[in-house]
Structure 1
Amino acid sequence: MTVTALPLAEGLPRRQGMTVHVRGLEVQAGIGVYAHEMGRLQPLVLDVELDLGAAPVRELADTLDYDGVARIVRALASGGHIELVETFAEQVALACLEDIRVLAVRVKVDKPEAIAGAQAAGCTVSYAR
C-alpha cells in the first residue's frame, strides 16, 4: 500500500527530520592502551543515532536497517585491537556515513570497566555532511 502525503496547509506542523537510533548495543572488543588491556576483550556499550533528514519515510527502503548498524559495530569490534575508544567511535561514525541517506551521525561509546567505581567512561563523536 502506498501512502500519499497531503499538502500541508499554512500553520500546520511540518516534520523537521527523522532520526534512527540503536541504543545500549553491547559488544566485546580488544580495546585499550595499557598492558593489562592487551590480548583480552572488554565490554563496550554504544548508542548510535543517525539523522536521515526530512525526506519522507514510507517504506523500508526509505530508512535504515537497525541490524545493519549493529553489524557495522560488531564487525569493527571483531576486527582486531584498537587502542582508543575515540578511534572506535570515529570508525563506527564514518562507516555509518557510507550510506548516502545518513546526513549526520552521533556515536556514544561507553567502556564500563575503564574506571573502578564509575559506571562508565567513554566518548561521543558527531559527524555531519
Structure 2
Amino acid sequence: MSIVISVSDLPLSACIGINPDEAGRRQPLIVSVDLTLAAGAQGADLTDSVDYRRIVAEAEAIADAHIGMIETFAQMLARRCLSLGPVRTAVVTVVKPQALPHGLASVRVMLDREQPLFKSVD
C-alpha cells in the first residue's frame, strides 16, 4: 500500500524569470505536488503524514524569492517537501501560463529520498 499526499493546481504569484522583461515583476505559476509517504507510514495522524498547509507554505516562500527558472523552483520545492515528514518521493509540477503565446510551459521533477539527485520526469 502507498499513500500519496497531493496539492493540485495551486495558483501562485512568483518572482520568476530570466528574461529582462521579467525582472521586477511577479508572474502566475500553477503548482501541483504529489508526495509518496515512506513504507510503513499509515497517515493516521499528522506525525505520520504531511500537513497540506506546510506544502503550500513552502511553495509560497519560494515564490517570494526571485528564481530564474521553473526547473529551479520545482527542484527547490521537491527538496523542501522531502523534509516535511515521512516522505519517500516528491513529484512537483510547475506550470508557467504566460511563458508562451500559445500553450503552457511546464516542468515536472521527481526527487526520491534514496536518490536525492535531481531527475526530470516525462
Query: Could you say whether these structures have the same fold, taking a TM-score greater than 0.5 normalized by the shorter chain as the test?
Result: yes
TM range (shorter): 0.7 to 0.9
Alignment of 1:1-129 (within 5 A): 16-55=1-40, 56-79=42-65, 81-118=66-103, 120-129=104-113
Aligned length: 112
Amino acid at match of 2:50: L
Amino acid at match of 1:128: D
Other-structure match for 2:116: none
Q: Any idea what SS the aligned residue of 1:89 has?
A: helix
Amino acid at match of 1:124: R
Q: Any idea what SS the aligned residue of 2:87 has?
A: coil
- What is the TM-score with the length of structure 2 in the denominator? 0.87
Runs of 4+ in structure 1 deviating by more than 3 angstroms, as ranges, are: none
Please report the RMSD computed on the Cα atoms of aligned residues, expressed in angstroms: 1.1
Indicate the percent of aligned positions where both proteins have the same amino acid: 35
Question: Which structure shows the bigger proportion of residues in strand conformation?
Answer: 2
